[in-house]
Chain A
Amino acid sequence: MSVATGGAKSRPRRTPGPADAGGPPRARPARPGRPTGGARRGGWTPWLYLAPALVVLAGLLVYPVYQLGLISVLDYTQAQVSGGEPTSFQGLGNYAELLGDPQFWNVLLATVVFAAACVLGTMTVGCALAVLLTRVRALPRLLLMLAALGAWATPAITGSTVWVFLFDPDFGPVNRVLGLGDFAWTYGRLSAFALVFFEVVWCSFPLVMVTTYAGIRAVPTEVVEAATLDGASVWRTWRSVLAPLLRPILIVVTIQSVIWDFKVFTQIYVMTGGGGIAKQNLVLNVYAYQKAFASSQYSLGSAIGVVMLLILLSVTLLYLKLLRRNGEEI
């Protein structure tokens, strides 16, 4: 699929050496005892190498996830945190409270729609610019690449402050150029989301562009040439030739975008001042944070966290399924 892996895969096959004698891993017979290729099995060695990673992940990822689940079924507020009252088991009470709250559904819907819009925007802009990159000479390509790298490298928080400033009703250049007067973007629900949307697309399209461009470059030129010779338009070439060829890469970046955009926190928090006027711009992540740290309802915050975790887990499963279908070996 990509340049690097293609080479890596074919190399051992071409080298007639001891590696071939050992045979590729898949062909290893289920024979006990010492394997032929020295490093195939190292007994405890792989676990030794894995130990530091597993310790860190167990302590700081698995255990907190367990704690998250635990807190979500307890009654855990400021009183319990300070030790004033004992914690009590609530069962699914917190979830019931959450699901019965219309605000939760409102926020969930906003999160899904917003994430979908961001993914769509990011993919469209990224792919279109990747195709554009293949059609221009070196200098414009370099310029666009550098600009995209700059946007990519910008920390979410500084990106947010800069975009808010750009769209500032009093001193920002955007309203002047567009002739919007002192239209305040953060006042309306939609316009505030739109503002965050612009920033998110701006800082996340470069990954899609660079990856897709690398993918297109790996496609043999004759294929695209042939399509052009047959009179296919740019759009047609993309739809019928490039997109199917790039499917594996596109799946990876799409899923990656889904995950990132679903978890957007900093942009919303900074640009809309913690969730917007009257909480109109809340997304799940910010909602959970506000519930826990602003109103000390740690259990409800955790329950929201669990809901997010489940949604993202299903996205992950979908991702794995798609990868498998493409015949990827993990």
Chain B
Amino acid sequence: MSAPASPPTSADAHAPVPGHRFRRRIRKPWRLAAECAAVLIALLVAFPLYWMVLSAFKPAGEIRSDRPVPWTLTPTLDSFRRVFAQQEFGRYFLNSLLVAGAVVLASALIAFLAATAVTRFRFRLRTTLLVLFLAAQMVPVEALTIPLFFLMRDVGALNSLLSLILPHLAFSLPFAIWMLRGFVKAVPEALEEQAFIDGASRTRFLWQILFPLVFPGLVATSVFSFISTWNDFLFAKSFIISATENSTLPMALLVFFDTETPDWGGVMAASTVMTLPVLVFFVCVHRRLVSGLGGAVK
């Protein structure tokens, strides 16, 4: 706020600046109102998540009550037990983790190399490639389910985890490259010159100097690849048809949901299990994410 205003209140009382006191008085209640609004909105935004976790712990009787209350006095793990007792839920969880992990690792490495190429080098078709990477982000994934289905069938990947990893890798790459560009660009070129003068090879510069410097950006990018892969249920639904041992979490969730009378306790417990890893991941890296977006917005 206005720096000269901070000194003593006595100066205020004598009021050499007439407009100033007026503003002071008007600002306090306004700020208080704004803060109350902010807290209220925060509660409102957080409420669905709170309700999800709460319902996961509520006993069945309370969930199916006509007068739902926002608390429970008898928390129980029954819903979780039901979820984990469901056929191979743990396995679905592992599958989801495996697919998302593979996509994150592969896309981070491949995108890092590609982003380096388009920011640190000048070559023909560079701008064309960049525009293509941008355009690739607009491709509606769902529309491509049809040709991808036939492609996976033809290479014999249908029903395997590979049929989930490969398409997600392809769909997360363009955005990852586009986003990493800002981070690679931010590394001063002088550093690169210096490395070459010191006799470092191009490979050495790439992995020992550039890679650690760009790592925060890689983390931010990975959040997006992880989330889009973890969240996917369309490919899981379309490509894993007969080999249910290769299904992922969303399918397990839908088992509870897709009926005339959904088992809400089970749905909420499964939702909690599915949301938690993303939430933890997100909160851990959110600072990097926010600064990373600054770079990507460019």
A residues adjacent to B (C-beta < 8 A):
1-5, 7-8, 11-12, 15, 17-19, 22, 25, 28, 37-42, 45-47, 49-50, 52-54, 56-57, 59-61, 63-65, 67-68, 71, 81, 129, 132-133, 135-137, 140-141, 143-144, 146-159, 161-163, 165-166, 168, 170-173, 176, 202, 207, 210-211, 214-215, 225, 229, 248-249, 252-253, 259, 263, 265-266, 269-270, 285-286, 288-289, 292-293, 298, 301-302, 304-306, 308-309, 312-313, 315-316, 319-320, 328, 330
9 A-B residue pairs with CB within 8 Å: A39-B120, A42-B202, A67-B150, A68-B143, A68-B146, A140-B35, A154-B48, A288-B143, A312-B140
Most buried by A among B39, B68, B264, B274: B68
Question: When A and B form their complex, what is the total count of cross-chain residue pairs whose Cβ atoms lie within 8 Å?
Answer: 337
Query: A316, B134: Cβ atoms under 8 Å?
Result: yes
Complex Cα–Cα for A22 and B188 (A): 13
Q: Which residues in window 174-230 of B have CB below 8 A to A?
A: 174, 177, 182, 185-186, 188-190, 192-194, 196-197, 202, 227, 230
Assess the B233–A302 pair: CB atoms within 8 A.
no
Residue B244 CB within 8 A of the other chain: no
Pairwise interchain contact B186-A4, C-beta atoms closer than 8 A: yes
- Note all chain B residues with C-beta closer than 8 A to A302: 143, 146-147
Q: Closest chain B residue to A307 by CB distance? A: B143
B38 and A144 contacting across the interface, CB-CB below 8 Å: yes
Query: Are B114 and A60 closer than 8 Å at their CB atoms?
Result: no
A144 touches B41 (CB 8 A): yes
Flag whether B166 is at the interface (Cβ < 8 A): yes
Contact A158 B293 (CB under 8 A): no
Residues of A within 8 A of B113 (CB): 49-50, 52-53
- Closest A residue to B37 using CB positions: A132
List of A residues within 8 angstroms of B143 by Cβ = 68, 285, 288, 301-302, 304-306, 308-309
Q: What residue in chain A is nearest B168 (Cβ atoms)?
A: A60
Once bound together, how far apart are the Cα atoms of A56 and B151, in whole Å? 13
Spell out B's residues near A (CB within 8 Å): 2, 19, 30-31, 34-35, 37-39, 41-43, 45-46, 48-49, 51-52, 55, 63-68, 70, 109-111, 113-114, 116-118, 120-123, 126-127, 129-131, 134-148, 150-151, 166-167, 169-171, 173-174, 177, 182, 185-186, 188-190, 192-194, 196-197, 202, 227, 230-231, 233-234, 238, 250, 253-254, 257, 264, 267-268, 271, 274-275, 278-279, 281-283, 286, 290-295, 297-298
A12 to B7, CA, bound (A): 40
Contact between chains at B193 and A155 (CB < 8 Å) = no
- By the criterion CB–CB under 8 Å, are A153 and B278 in contact? yes
- Name the prevailing secondary structure of the B interface residues: helix
Instruction: Given A140-B39, A171-B65, check contact A214 B290 (CB 8 Å).
Output: yes
Q: Complex Cα distance A269/B233, Å?
A: 10
Residues of B within 8 A of A319 (CB): 134
Given contacts A154-B278, A171-B65, 16 further A-B contacts (CB under 8 A): A5-B298, A7-B186, A40-B122, A45-B117, A47-B123, A53-B111, A136-B35, A151-B46, A155-B278, A161-B257, A162-B271, A166-B48, A248-B297, A312-B138, A315-B138, A316-B138
> Closest approach, in angstroms, between the C-beta of B174 and any C-beta of chain A?
7
Bound Cα distance from A296 to B38, whole angstroms: 50
Given contacts A144-B42, A148-B45, A225-B2, contact A154 B275 (CB under 8 A): yes
A155 to B2, CA, bound (A): 43
Q: A60-B170, A153-B279, A153-B282 are in contact. Are A171 and B122 (CB under 8 A)?
A: no
Q: Is the CB of B49 within 8 A of A52?
A: no
A181 to B35, CA, bound (A): 33
Q: Is A162's CB under 8 angstroms from B169's CB? A: no
Cross-chain contact A5 with B294 (CB below 8 angstroms): yes
A249 to B295, CA, bound (A): 11
B193 contacts A22, CB within 8 Å? yes
Given A2-B298, A211-B297, residue A136 in contact with residue B38 (CB < 8 A): yes
Distance, CA A56 to CA B166, complexed state (A): 8
Residues of chain A within 8 A of B281, CB atoms compared: 153
Residues of A within 8 A of B190 (CB): 12, 15, 17-19
